[in-house]
Structure 1
């Protein structure tokens, strides 16, 4: 879902001669989709490589590593071949030419991208990015693995920071914990039903909450989704931020297209109880609304006729 945010970035804000509106996003040809995917993957790898070089991993028929007491082969890792690209445009072209390796049904696209991300970042940089709170990039879950926050931050910012707060902070044992150092094109919002506002280390900082473009990777109770606006000025013009539309996509099968939400950050308390705005007194709020309020604290959200997600 993190990659989806960068695809939306490409389709909405970087295509030449295309309007930044929801209709243009829905009327995308297959070729434009593939170009956007290649640009998204290449851009993420290039940022992870500190804008110096990117490494793309592809699986081949040849075996480059033999099994030994220190390594148990999986018939995949030992067949990886690494390709180093020294220009962003060359990286994008290479990924586009080999896009089938990343998107074929039943293939190893996610694993190849993860390997490419790690080798682009380099082990030396990864060791500097991580801290005592997170020494691994993956964690076991239900017979598989989940990406830790460091991987998500590496995709979003190019740096594998394990935490979501701004800068560096001291942990409970006075150890130095690494957070986010710069704003990125795609941001991050997080809300969980067991969230504690008193836990400062778990609170998402302003650098992730306020990205350069109005696109956010979202984590709601452990489920990933994307929230975005088609108005590029949303985060740079306070007047636009008074009342605006956001589009939410959770990626679940029942949801076939993004839901349009209208956010009002300057409504009065007596207006929040009007039946027409979807905020009838006494009703419980959707987790999506709670997520949006982590960014716009007193906002009211109108679902425009859609039944709220719970």
Structure 2
């Protein structure tokens, strides 16, 4: 079987593992390893107080990012090459499926988002606390409506970051492409802040990580938005494109705006952006509706990816 056919089967195996068992233990999770490595390098890279133009921190962080990226991508290349060259197709598919699984995470995202609504049913404080597991903003001043909005926004954004983008880069670059993306996305989450975070100043030290993630997420974010738009049968493409550009990020606005239109719900971040301002305010039940739409979108993206890989295999044979 051609490589593309093996990856098609491996992707289905990875999704099945995710839906059945979720995430591996932290000690075996490559993304956790990435986070720990980035935390260590960041602690000796970013300054502890605000600075002016700091090209030294920028280039030091860029070098650290590049070295760590190679440290994760090179083993992925070697593992993929060995598996494809020395094992039968069925075993290669199974092994690659196991390796692919930690690079995508749908079940955990779904469960964490649904837990926000369940927590809100008990109390606003519990809902805020649960939301704090998903977002980096201050959650304790948010109303129940704003908590729901933030949970839906996080679902839409992470549908791209945790599922669609990894699958896209698997199709483009195999396991190494998937690993590179998850590393870049993790680095952006930890370093890509325009100010103080965790006792470090990331204005310059985090620029490389932020821009790398912007580049690698550009196409997948728009694929995610198109998939959400198609699944929800929304006819307002002009509204989607216009709303998507209102967020500071060049990418996250696309899936969030698509989700806002799909639900006909206004999503906003105070003093930053408002998406679909003519929509209804987030209410009980909207998180569940958003998860249902995201689930259908996931299914469509997976089917498209598998069909593309299979068609590539058929053409080559």
- Return the TM-score normalized by structure 1: 0.25
State the TM-score, normalized to the length of structure 2.
Answer: 0.25
Rg comparison, structure with higher value? 1
Q: Which of 1 and 2 has higher RCO (CA within 8 Å, sep 6+)?
A: 2
